[in-house]
Chain A
Amino acid sequence: MPKIQEKKQMNCPSFERLVDFVDSRLEEREAARVEAHLASGCGVCGETTSWYERVRHTVESDHSVAPPSWVFKRAVRIFDAPKRRSPGLTERIGHAIASLVFDSFARPALVGVRSTETANRQLLYRADDYSIDLQISGLEHSNADVMGQILKERGEGFESVCGLKLELARHDDVIVSVVTNDIGEFKLTGIEQGVYELRVALSEGSITVPNIPVGEP
């Protein structure tokens, strides 16, 4: 077994040659020369080729994907909450009307860019410290599903958004009522095409999300 050499030798191939060897970019004769050098037990060059092989292997096994831009932007907005004191139990927000801050259908499509997003529409509303994120599915037999999540920007955990009562109303008629789950999520299924409002009952008051377009352009 050849003795392993720990220091770079005069006849060591250059770093470029070694990575070319791993990438099979060398001519046959040059590749044989590098192979013979490595077989002679040069620890320095062996370490370099091992490192580059690990890099190549890591690259080849990396099938990671970046999230759609709206998902990334939504997460960035978590930080946008105003740095103000959360209201105490006695500080009521009263009745707040949520305003629309993001509509995925309002974005211009980039020419030549293939979208990874589905036909779902995403709407983000904000009222006081609360944000209401809605995902409206495409119409199927004139019905759509509305999924959403309520988040309190400066809340501790999800305590302030779990178990909230929600009412989806149209022309003052309550169509359906649901309660948010343990992380503020909710789902309304089989909603007919139309424009609705969502009423959220909070411990500090209530929020109305107006003009929610279900299946509307």
Chain B
Amino acid sequence: MKHIGATKASENLNERDDRALVVACLEGDHAAWEALIRRYQRLIYSIPIKARLSQEDAADIFQSVCLKLYEKLNTIRDGERVSSWLITTTSRECWRISARNRREAIPSGSDDENGSNFIEIPATGLLADEEREVLERQHQLRHAVEALPDRCRELISMLFYHENELSYVDIAGRMKMPVPSIGPTRARCLEKLRKLLAGKL
């Protein structure tokens, strides 16, 4: 299951917007920093993976982007949207790592990139506007699902993000509720989700 979860302790932080989390980070709140990274972990990590970079490169890029975020918290607070900043910074890091990989793949002194020893490394450029918008919408939806009350979050996560499509009978069994209650509960949860998204999608 593509897990979406939040502990009781993190509920309050999940409800805070990015600006509030950034301000809390600047005041030294470790939990706010963890919540901020947790909120954006999929967005950051998925960009290098989508660009066909290795898991090792993706891990390095993740660390590098988080470090840059930490160093730039003060300026991000003053306006720029965190998601937009992260997408730009991560795609730049992908480009840099991709360029480094290409350099290292070409034997030194060789001017024949089509030679038999040439290894194909993905060339990663900055993301197109359309791709950025898709990533932001996916992030906004996941974030809104995380901000739902416990039962709703659990139900909507099963419906939306489970690896295999679950029947209402499966979901009822997992949530320990009668099958006929699933439909109306889902509808109530989706209405809450719509309010949380407030026209963002």
Residues of A within 8 A of B (CB): 14-16, 19-20, 25, 51-52, 54-55, 58-59, 61-68, 71-72, 74-76, 78-80, 83, 116-118, 120, 133, 135, 147, 149, 151, 156-157, 183, 185
CA distance A17 to B60 in the complex (A): 47
> Do the beta carbons of B55 and A78 come within 8 Å of each other?
no
Interface majority SS on A: helix, strand, loop or mixed?
mixed
Contacts of B184 in A (CB 8 A): 16
Q: Is the CB of A71 within 8 A of B187?
A: no
- Which listed segment binds A: B12-20, B26-34, B114-122? B26-34
B50 partner residues in chain A, CB cutoff 8 A: 63
Selected from B34, B42, B71, the residue in CB contact (under 8 A) with A76 is: B34
A61-B25 contact in complex given A67-B45, A78-B66, A78-B67, C-beta closer than 8 Å: no
Contacts of A14 in B (CB 8 A): 187
Nearest-neighbor residue (CB-CB) of B65 within chain A: A75
What are the nearest 4 A-B pairs in CB distance? A16-B187, A75-B66, A64-B46, A67-B45
Q: Smallest distance from the beta carbon of B90 to chain A beta carbons, Å?
A: 12
CB of A80 within 8 A of CB of B55, answer no
Contacts of B43 in A (CB 8 A): 64
Q: Are A151 and B190 in contact (CB under 8 A)?
A: no
Take A68-B59, A72-B38, A72-B41 as given contacts and tell me if A61 and B187 are in contact as well, using a CB distance cutoff of 8 Å. Answer: no
A59 near B46 with CB under 8 A, answer: no
Task: List chain B residues, Cβ under 8 A from A118.
Answer: 55-56
25 contacts between A and B (CB under 8 A): A15-B187, A54-B137, A54-B201, A55-B201, A58-B137, A58-B141, A59-B141, A62-B138, A63-B50, A64-B43, A64-B138, A65-B45, A66-B41, A67-B41, A67-B59, A67-B62, A68-B55, A75-B66, A76-B34, A78-B33, A79-B34, A118-B55, A120-B56, A133-B63, A157-B71
| Cβ–Cβ contact B45 & A19, under 8 A | no
Asked if A66 contacts B63 (CB within 8 A), the reply is: no
Within 8 A of A (CB), among B177-201: 183-184, 186-187, 190-191, 193-194, 201
